[in-house]
Amino acid sequence: MKKVTIIQRIVPHYRLPLYRVMVKELAKHGVELTILFGQEREGTVPKSMTSTESWMHKSNNIYFSIFGHEIVYQPFFIKSFGYDLVITEQANRLVLNYFLQFFLRFSGAKLAFWGHGRNFQANNSGSILESVKAKATNYANWFFGYTNNSVDTVTSNGFPVERTTVLENAIDTTSLKVAYDKISIEELQPIRESVGLSSNNIGIYCGGMYSDKKIPFLLDACLAIKSKLPDFEMIFIGTGPQANLIDGFCKKNQWAVSLGEVTGVERVKYFAVSKVFLMPGLVGLAVLDSFAMKTPMVTTDIPIHSPEFAYLSHGENGLVTQFSTETFSEEVVSIFTNRHKYEHLIQGCEIATAKYTIENMALNFVNGIISALEIKPNASPENSGHS
């Protein structure tokens, strides 16, 4: 039986369903999967899993800083040997990666990276740190990219496309979709009333409240929408350093309500009474919530979105506007007032949620692992003449 390990800094709760599917599917191919992982730095999110499966092994990461940059040591160097394929996160701060790049080639094992391709939130995509990441990636035998954009990034730096896998990164949204579909029309008004709202034209924001999310822009846009659509109301869900801005806004404007942190299926009822998901700032996996709960997302064309932004198709399952509160607000109002446009976007959300699933991501991952196991151990781009 071939042995494969995935080494992650942490394992957030939303990754467990993916790994469960992968363990079962890989076993059908005679491959044993092990997950090695650690804990988050104290006081940070997301938090790592506390409970483990038999194929999951946890050890404590060591966090320290060099010139203001966080460095992480994962104590898995010895445990990394004995596997046919080692998959690690594509991240400069992970010290273990550099040791594995050098020593694994002597053991006959293969090394693969799993990542975004580059830091999409970096101020300078051509920085030294991004150059280091690109160079280090080219020493791997295989690359698992979150999306097409991730793979395009590494292949543009010389990594062979035939040694890449597009995972189509996803989380398990089945429970959200099931819960959403169970809510009846008769339940909508009581849900609105439970948070002090009454309109049929409600927008929602659900996510972290920090600078990359462009909270001040969002609040200005809400005022602009209200000026154009008098019965517009707004629901905010989430926490973060800028939550105080949201709270202050809601105190001044009775048509807006902040619910704080609401997780899992508890969020569904609030999406059910909302027609539009407003997220002008950084978009990541939240776009999958938009699809699953049939609440079209409206965002802006800022350059810091995570790779999952590629799932958003303008005019098909959501809208992407210029970073202008006037343009943004006009597009939001058009969804509320144009029934045909709204229904077309809902159809697009239904198509997208059927495509971006945990099951499809697991299948893509498994197929990539099987392909990576079949290549020669020393077949890295650096060894084969690519640069």
Query: Which tens digit of pLDDT belongs to each residue from 334-382?
Result: 999 999 999 999 999 999 999 999 999 999 999 999 999 998 765 555 5
Residue 298 has pLDDT above 60, yes or no: yes
Name which of 63, 60, 61, 79 is nearest 71 in CA terms. Answer: 63
Coil, helix or strand at residue 79? helix
Cβ-Cβ contacts under 8 Å for 126 (sequence gap 6 or more): none
Q: Provide, for the chain, the percentages of residues in helix, strand and coil under a 3-state DSSP scheme, each rounded to the nearest 5.
A: 45, 20, 40
Claim to verify: residue 203 and residue 260 sit in the same structural domain: yes
- What confidence score (pLDDT) does residue 333 get? 98
**CB-neighbour burial class of residue 133 (10 A; exposed 0-12, middle 13-18, buried 19+):** buried
DSSP type of residue 380:
-
pLDDT band of residue 217 (cuts 50, 70, 90) is: very high
Claim to verify: residue 234 and residue 157 sit in the same structural domain: no
Claim to verify: residue 122 and residue 158 sit in the same structural domain: yes
Give the model confidence (pLDDT) of 155-212 as tens digits: 999 999 999 999 999 999 999 999 999 999 999 999 999 999 999 999 999 999 999 9
- What confidence score (pLDDT) does residue 126 get? 56
Average pLDDT, the chain: 93
Stated length of the chain: 387
Claim to verify: residue 51 and residue 161 sit in the same structural domain: yes
Q: Range of 306's domain?
A: 174-355
Claim to verify: residue 18 and residue 160 sit in the same structural domain: yes
- What confidence score (pLDDT) does residue 134 get? 83
**CB-neighbour burial class of residue 358 (10 A; exposed 0-12, middle 13-18, buried 19+):** buried
Structure tokens at 333: 């109002």
Claim to verify: residue 200 and residue 219 sit in the same structural domain: yes
d(CA 37, CA 331): 43
Give the model confidence (pLDDT) of 64-97 as tens digits: 999 899 999 999 999 999 999 999 999 999 999 9
d(CA 111, CA 143): 9
d(CA 191, CA 231): 17
Claim to verify: residue 158 and residue 265 sit in the same structural domain: no
52 touches 24 (CB < 8 A): no
Q: Can you give the CATH number for the domain in which 6 is found?
A: 3.40.50.2000
pTM of the model: 0.84
Residue 106 has pLDDT above 60, yes or no: yes
Claim to verify: residue 165 and residue 267 sit in the same structural domain: no
